[in-house]
Structure 1
Amino acid sequence: MASSETTDGEHRGIDTEHDGIQWNDSDTELRNLDNEAGLPQVVKFDDGGVGSDGRSPLPQGLRIYVKQPVLFHTRMCKRHVKARTIYHDRQGPYYEVGQTLDIPDDFDGWFELVPPDFGRGPVFRTIGQLAEANARKFFTRTNIRAIRIEEDANSNTEGAENVKDSNEAQSFKERKITAGTILTVKGTFAAKWQTTAQTGLLKKKSKEWTTVEMIYMKVIDTDNMEVLVPMTTRGKFNLVYEKGLKDVRTIYRMKDIVSDLDLPLKVRMIYGKAPVVPCIFTGMLVLKEQSKEDTIIASTILNKRNVLFEMPVTAKCSVKTAADETDYENMRTYIDAKLLCKKYAHAYGSLIKLSPELDTNQQMIQHIPTERRKTRDESLKTLDLITNISLTDDEPRDYFMESSDSDSIQSGEATPLGFGEMMELREITLPRTSQAISSA
């Protein structure tokens, strides 16, 4: 969407009355523009002036594009959630602030439910705790280390039971797993490692053998590679939501919240892309309501810096389509708009955006925790100046919306991955102390 500093086409130096493009005389209805017929299409829309109530039928966030040529690129249909940011004054209460946010159900981020005391959601602190909870998939909020076994392609060794017999055909390499990764659990394994040490003070004459057993969780990473993570690895981990999952340490996609949870609901974004428009965004949100919406992703085509915006198909406006593509096909700004849409339209459609209503005068609503705070609150990052997407920008990146973890493990305290040579690797079953997946 365009910056709130821009009020209309004229302020951007656009001659909306003499744009050099010929328009068809008859109007086209938005609902008749579809990906199979009519899109992409250069159009010009008008709100028809104010109504009998003195108000325009178009929301303020769309009126800034009226009477100027725009490129309607692609149509999307998905569920959208209306939300507002919750801000906490350290010396005071929690308030809803800012304008209404629009979150599509395919937003690629992760959310935890806000506890009754408004504190941090609980997490697993070791890989071993995940194993005891019978985790199937989990999300790591910490950089962790693992090992992968590389086998010679010419080796005839089957499985991992006889590692000792194939030492020459195997090697073990460290693999770093970055925070923000989803890992799929494949089982629990015990490995016997053998180390040697020279004995004797002056003359090293003999070797002393030591056998150490370590327990690992075998997981599949995002590259579909099997790796072993020591059970003693510490960090911050969450279960990934699946239907039937009953655990407060679970995180959710927006599509899970929309399909399986009831609104209104307070959530905290722990990882994802912040809005691409200037706004107050703390990551703690109250999700108000959801609805299914048809929208068209569009771009301006006469700006020095074209911007994307989203047009609801139900918007009340008259639309005229361009009569002759030759009027604009060689315009540099139009070519840039086509590239912008091709590169970012689908990504833009899945981002958090401001509602086109731009409702800045909402009633201030206070939220009161229903339980006393158990721990000191660490405020989420407040990102209040994020630029629009353009061809000159990098693609919006994911943020961890949390302060640094005060009790995270430093590199000097990292769990050892192994000792010497692996002599044996076998799958084992650990006793479970909690049930992550309900039987219902």
Structure 2
Amino acid sequence: MTSTLRSERSQIHFFAYLVGTGIHLASWRHPGALPGASIDFAHQVELVRAAEAAKFDAVFLGDSLAIDETSNPGILNRFDPVGLVTALGAVTSRIGLIATSSTSYDEPFNFARAALTADHISGGRMGWNIVTTRDLTNSTAANFSAPEHLDHSFRYRRAEEFVEVVRGLWNSWDPDAFLHDQASGRFFDATKLHRLDHRGEFFQVAGPLNIAPSAQHSPLLAQAGSSVPGQRLGARYANAIFASHRGIPEAVAFRESVRKQAAAFGRNPDEVFIYQAISPVVAETDAEAWDQVRELDRLIGEDQVLEFLQEYFGASIDFSKLGETATVEQAGIAALPSPRSDFRSSREQIRGREHEVTLKDLYSILTGDKRNDDFVGSADKVARSLERWHSAGAADGFNLMFSLLPGDLDRFTAGVVPLLQERGLARTEYTGTTLKSHLGLV
């Protein structure tokens, strides 16, 4: 495994984040968009096959368990991610399929079974993005008969136990437990069946799970969390960790910190891959790429921006007296004494730029856009930026959160990927058949 890991780390890894018509809030209004993309299975298949043709590690599907009138149009009407990757596993052959599922609002046995089912159907290509669920609309708990959303630290304690239980259930059977010996009548070897009998703070699960290990044994674990408990969860369990940093120094520091934490848990830090989230925009020239950016931004309405921010930050600021061109500094947002916990992960993108980041820019940041000047421009510029970040140790790979789908995906795979392949920085063929093999983990 060590030599395989070394080989994989010499190249840049890619996940493609798929959400409706793109991560940009106004992408559905673009002339080239399919507004109903989130529940168009044929369209989803086309996107995944495009990423597979470019030899990406995986596609990644996020999730939310509550919506309101200010939610991203791409999540208002969409498939359940575990159900979707199960279906996609049957119509693709090599690319990994990562689905988000919450440890706060699911049960370990149900999830372990559904995820391993998807892993079998795909031939060992399923991944689990572990989340504890941020309650952006203050209504998630209400969808699950709960009086209030779980406290941050409480959620992460539950998450660690949840993951332990799921992993224990995935180990219910030895790989060679099923004999299928028709002559002797022995369907399985009972000595290779393992009960879990877990008794913990949050869960009491007897097991065993009624499904055997997959071709990669069990789904790859992925996680995104910038808080101290979030980093601990990722360092302890995940092989793919999603991060979001605007500059190389901050990204390098984060990656080194997570690797040290993984080593402290007795893990090989080379088995942990950090994927920086970016929203690349590729065109023939840098100027044309920025024209594409501005074209999308013009589709965002001012009322949409101000209504979202008012609900997000509450009565501490009266956004009705401000316009979308007002800056974060002018609005006094950076000076708020107790900003929302999920705002903290976005502060890095605006730190030092409060005087120039507008409320419209902030709206895009808070709703998921990961635009970075390094990755907006010609294919050569974007390829060079990716190489620079990778060689500096800022990222093992990138989670590509395209602003506009399928346009940005198509332009990236047609322009940037061939340049990286020519330089030996991106694979030209898959060498394995499972998601874990794409990272050199099996």
Which bracket does the TM-score occupy, shorter chain normalised?
A: under 0.3
Q: What is the TM-score of this pair, normalised by structure 2?
A: 0.23
- Greater per-residue helix proportion: 2
Q: What is the TM-score of this pair, normalised by structure 1?
A: 0.23
Structure with the larger RCO, 1 or 2 (CA within 8 Å, 6+ apart): 1
